[in-house]
Chain A
Amino acid sequence: MSWIDGLRHRLRTVVRPGEFERDLAEEMRMHEELDAMQQQDPHGARRRMGNRTIHKEDTRAATWLRWFDLFRQDTGYAWRSIRRTPGVTAMIVVTLALGIGVNAATFSVLDQIFLRDPAGIVDPGGIRRIWMKHTRTGSAPNFYGQPMSFPQYKVMADAWGAPAQMAVMTSNGGFHLGGTRAGYSSGILFTSANYFTLLGLKPAMGRFYTDAESQPGTVTQAVVVSHRYWKAHLGGDSRIVGKRIKLDTLEYKVLGVAPEGFNGISTEAAEIWAPLGALPGADAPHAGAPSIWESSRYLVFFTFARVRDGMNLADFERKATAAMRETNRRFDGPRADTLMLVKAASIIQARGPETARQEELIATRLQGVAIIVLIIACANVVNLLLARAVNRRREIAVRLALGISRARLVRLITIESVVLALIASVAALLTAWWGGSLLRSQLMAGTNFAQPAMHAHVVWATLVVALACGVIAGVIPAVQFSRPQLTADLKDSTRSGTRHRSRLRDGLVAAQAALSVMLLVGAALFMRSLQNVEGIDIGFDSRRILYGNVAFEPGQAPPRAGLVATSRDVAERLRTRPGVEVVARAGLMPMRGFGFWTFYWGRDSSRSLTKQFPMGFAVSPEFFAATGMRLLRGTTFHEGLAGTSELVVNEATAKLLWPQGNAVGQCMRFQTSDAPCTIVTGIVTNATIGDITEQPPPQFYLPLGTALTKDIEGGLLIVRTKKGAEATATREMIALLRQAFPTAEPIIGSMTDDLDPKYRPWRLGAQLFTGVGVLALLVALVGIYSTVAYGVGQRRHEFGVRVALGARLGDVLNQVVGEGVRVVLAGVGLGVVLTFLTSRLVASLLYGVEPNDVSALILAASTLLLVAIVATLVPAWRAAKADPVQALRGD
């Protein structure tokens, strides 16, 4: 095919330009020599050859080298003109860097949560996690969850069709390396042996455990460690395989090291893997209870499987759903979840059917906001470039007159903005790296990340966005200014009286204003939400509450009876110490956990409660005083009565169980319907138990040390300190605890610390959206200022005439500010409309405030207008103060 020859020729000239040039020169020289010989006239030959340089250039222009030449010329031109106006260039680069950088930062977080496959795995697309939809009765709506019981896993594996293709795992946390509390603490993932083979992993050193070693019932004390863990905590010892390491109280043999870069399949890094059978306490979790492998109550197992070629996932889901419902019926009887649904979903956890967690919602909304900021930044840049192009009108007109094609001119101007954008993208990547890490650590604090924040995805995304911005920001002014109006432009047209109001520029300013209003409204809404959340009555008075506890070295905790007595003793002694107001004891920290007891009241049993099940806590009588819960009726209970027992209920329980009358004095009988009466002595306020924004559930409080609560140690001290005496109280607590438990480490916490993570998403949301809102405001400020400044600069002549004719300062100010503000006002109107349309998207992140809150809108609009007035005032002032003679005379 001849066109292939043509192609080959073209490529050859591009790949070897030197050879092309040399050959052409030689050929033309030979041509001339031959001609000279033929005509016997060397000078004539020279003449007949013509202008060799032009011919050479024309020949070169007929090859593909033309594009390289053009590109080099255009880039050189772009570079020179960038250097000529450093101020505007700097503003453009900074604006773009901020816009692109913010996007890259949020994208890196989103990428990590939603888009990145776990590293180091073969064909992650072929792996599916198994989810179940629970239709539990209870106050929680239907929800999707991954954890299942071991019998349920077996059912799933059967339904998959090839049980060996499904792996099962469960994790336990907090194993200290070296057996002391000072050692590095990490979780262990107990898995079936096919975990490694299904993921396509090969050990970096040693081997993985086998099927035989990981069977339930076989206890193989061996582990595989991650490459990172091996390097960081085992010293990168090249002889680690076969050595034993101590994790808490047990020794494990290191079988192998996982390949570098593999840190599990979740966002949180997995550091140690052990055979499933080695799960501590699996065989007899409580005395007399069935083992974890047989019981349906321990929903702690996660499963994933590899899809076979030609396998139909819908079939699996149907089979598994049917099998699961049957299994539930068999195990749980009448209370079984017979509406359970099974789903197979992506290996990336965030893409599963579970409702998005708050962090994920914030991350996605933040990305939307970042995109808006980018649009504002780009609009800004277009405006700056338009303004700059106005100054170069004459130069462009000359080029057009000389015959440059319009396409070439557009390309020329666009290349300039692309170069600027690429420069900005370097700065943006740095912003992204720093910002992305910051965002990650704030949004998902405490996570030990499996993957680094920066990834090729982010770099590519940044470059693509920068390129797109550069092209768009350059094409618009380029197209506008390449329209030939030669005569007007060649002459110096600044003297003409025409208004240089560009509709495009005004439109861009209005657009910026509109988007800024949206962001400011968002910021106001989030601040208000935070205020509301912080104002919620959580039922406790969280100021001045300290927790005291001790931590023993693994395996060194003394027997329970001694612990209880010592704790009570410590509490007694603490009561008389300075700085201490109230001391109480409890089994668990408030909001950390609860227990379920079966009880009977009136003629009903707790089994009949389907919607709300009261949760129980074991506490000492001073608990309510210590935590600031108010007794609405009655009194707290007495401690340690052998005969009658007493309890306190909260408002919600009182309403649930005795909706008609007074709960005080009523009876609850625990465990059997003819058990002795436990009298309700008081009703206490509702206290939050999990999510601050959720309605507190029914709860009741039992005294420590009775027959019902004998299993609970009550070793936690809850201390209310006197005003300003926190430090004193802390010291006293540490001293007494050390005295009582010399081998243990006292741990002092506070309720405010405990509450902090609950408020954090709200605080974070407010901070982030406010930060972005302020950023957008700044960018809009710069945009409005520069647009007005350039406009005023162009009309210097006009203003000079006005002032010379007697216009006063006030008149000029009025005119300029009025013009500017009118445009911004239009933008604000548009922004209000946009806000109404899009506010639904953030509704789920707000609390106690409607997305269309009027006061927030008013606040945002007025802030922006104020900023606009300030921005237009400065150039207006300068225009008014300019010397009219200069303006009239000048260029």
Chain B
Amino acid sequence: MSKRDLLPGTLDMLVLRTLSLGPLHGYAIAQHIEKSSNDVFQLEQGSLYPALERLQGAGLITSKWGKSPTGRRARYYTITTSGRKQLGAEISNYDALMHAIASVLGRA
């Protein structure tokens, strides 16, 4: 899937979900999304960064520079409490949406 098919809102939700499992740096987040989706999502990697900036501006995640396992300087992102709350809200929205679509398609 190209970037265009993934709406900005969805990407934010995926990032939040990824970080809810623990702090990660940018590359690791991208890897996790790709791997967890069994490579269905192939992000244009750079498109992560606007999303990360948006989430930080909204106070849903925070960032701090630290050291990666290989000893390099890396920026680690952590989800905040309101981030978790937002994630919960977005997931239930998403579920409701999917359920509705499924009903219409006769799949429910």
Contacts and interface: CB of A to CB of B under 8 A. Distances in A.
Contacts of B30: 31
A7 B82 CA distance: 14
Contacts of B47: 50, 55, 58
Contacts of A58: 47, 49-50
Interface string B47-81: 10110111011111010010000001111000011
Contact of A10 (B27, B50, B52, B57): B57
Contact of A35 (B45, B49, B54): B45
B83 A31 contact: no
Given A55-B49, A59-B49, A27 B75 contact: yes
Nearest to B56: A9
B44 A50 contact: yes
B69 to A, nearest CB: 11
Instruction: Identify which of B49, B52, B72 gathers the most chain A CB atoms within 10 Å of its CB.
Output: B49
Given A3-B82, A5-B62, A6-B58, A49 B46 contact: yes
B26 interface: yes
Instruction: Identify which of B46, B59, B83 gathers the most chain A CB atoms within 10 Å of its CB.
Output: B46
A62 B82 contact: no
Nearest to A37: B70
A9 B57 contact: yes
A51 interface: yes
A2 interface: yes
Nearest to A52: B46
Contact of B80 (A2, A7, A61, A64): A2
Interface string B36-49: 00000010111101
Going nearest first, the 4 A-B pairs with the smallest beta carbon separation are A6-B59, A55-B46, A50-B44, A2-B59
B50 A59 contact: yes
B3 interface: yes
B44 A62 contact: no
A49 to B, nearest CB: 5
B3 A63 contact: no
Interface of A: 1-7, 9-10, 23-24, 26-28, 30-32, 34-35, 38, 48-52, 54-56, 58-59, 61-64
A61 B8 CA distance: 14
A169 to B, nearest CB: 62
Given A28-B49, A55-B46, A2 B72 contact: no
B44 A5 contact: no
B52 to A, nearest CB: 8
Nearest to B59: A6
Nearest to A4: B59
User: How big is the B interface, by class?
Assistant: 20 to 34
Given A5-B62, A26-B73, 10 more contacts: A5-B59, A28-B26, A30-B73, A48-B42, A50-B44, A55-B49, A58-B47, A58-B49, A58-B50, A63-B57
Nearest to A24: B49
A34 B27 CA distance: 7
A2 B82 contact: yes
25 contacts: A1-B82, A2-B59, A2-B60, A2-B83, A3-B59, A3-B82, A6-B56, A23-B75, A24-B49, A27-B26, A27-B75, A28-B26, A28-B49, A30-B27, A31-B45, A35-B45, A38-B31, A48-B45, A50-B3, A50-B44, A54-B46, A55-B47, A58-B49, A59-B50, A63-B53
A34 B73 CA distance: 12
B45 A49 contact: yes
Contacts of A9: 56-57, 59, 62
Given A49-B46, A50-B3, A50-B45, A62 B59 contact: no
A135 B73 CA distance: 89
B67 to A, nearest CB: 12
Contacts of A63: 53, 57
Given A48-B44, A59-B49, A35 B27 contact: yes
A24 B74 CA distance: 11
The A contact surface, by secondary structure, is helix
Contacts of B82: 1-3
A651 to B, nearest CB: 88
B2 to A, nearest CB: 10
Contact of A5 (B49, B65, B80): B80
Contacts of B80: 2, 5
A29 to B, nearest CB: 11
Contacts of B49: 24, 27-28, 55-56, 58-59
A63 B26 CA distance: 18
Nearest to B51: A62
Contact of B54 (A5, A38, A62): A62
B46 A50 contact: yes
B72 A30 contact: yes
Nearest to A20: B53
A62 B53 contact: yes
Contacts of A30: 26-27, 72-74
Instruction: Identify which of B52, B57, B62, B83 gathers the most chain A CB atoms within 10 Å of its CB.
Output: B57
A1 B82 CA distance: 8
Instruction: Identify which of B3, B58, B62 gathers the most chain A CB atoms within 10 Å of its CB.
Output: B58
Nearest to B62: A5
Nearest to A32: B45
A500 to B, nearest CB: 43
Instruction: Identify which of B30, B45, B47 gathers the most chain A CB atoms within 10 Å of its CB.
Output: B45
Contacts of A59: 49-50, 52-53
Interface string B11-34: 000000000000000110011000
Instruction: Identify which of B59, B73, B81 gathers the most chain A CB atoms within 10 Å of its CB.
Output: B59
Contacts of A1: 59, 82
Contacts of A54: 46
Contacts of B83: 2
B81 A2 contact: yes
A61 B46 contact: no
B18 to A, nearest CB: 15
B59 to A, nearest CB: 3
Contacts of A7: 59
A4 B81 CA distance: 12
Contacts of A32: 45
Contacts of B27: 30-31, 34-35
A55 B45 CA distance: 9
A16 to B, nearest CB: 14
Nearest to B85: A2
Contacts of A6: 56-60
Interface in B68-108: 72-75, 80-83
Contacts of A27: 26, 49, 74-75
A822 B74 CA distance: 74
A243 to B, nearest CB: 69
Contacts of B50: 55, 58-59, 61-62
Contacts of A4: 59
B7 to A, nearest CB: 14
Given A2-B80, A3-B59, A5-B62, A28 B46 contact: yes
Nearest to B46: A55
B55 to A, nearest CB: 9
A35 B28 CA distance: 10
Contacts of A2: 59-60, 80-83
A62 B46 contact: no
A3 B81 CA distance: 10
Contacts of B58: 3, 6
A882 to B, nearest CB: 54
B66 to A, nearest CB: 12
A208 to B, nearest CB: 59
A685 B27 CA distance: 107
A351 to B, nearest CB: 50
B19 to A, nearest CB: 13
A31 B47 CA distance: 12
A51 B46 contact: yes
A279 to B, nearest CB: 72
A701 B26 CA distance: 106
Contacts of B72: 30
Contacts of A64: 57
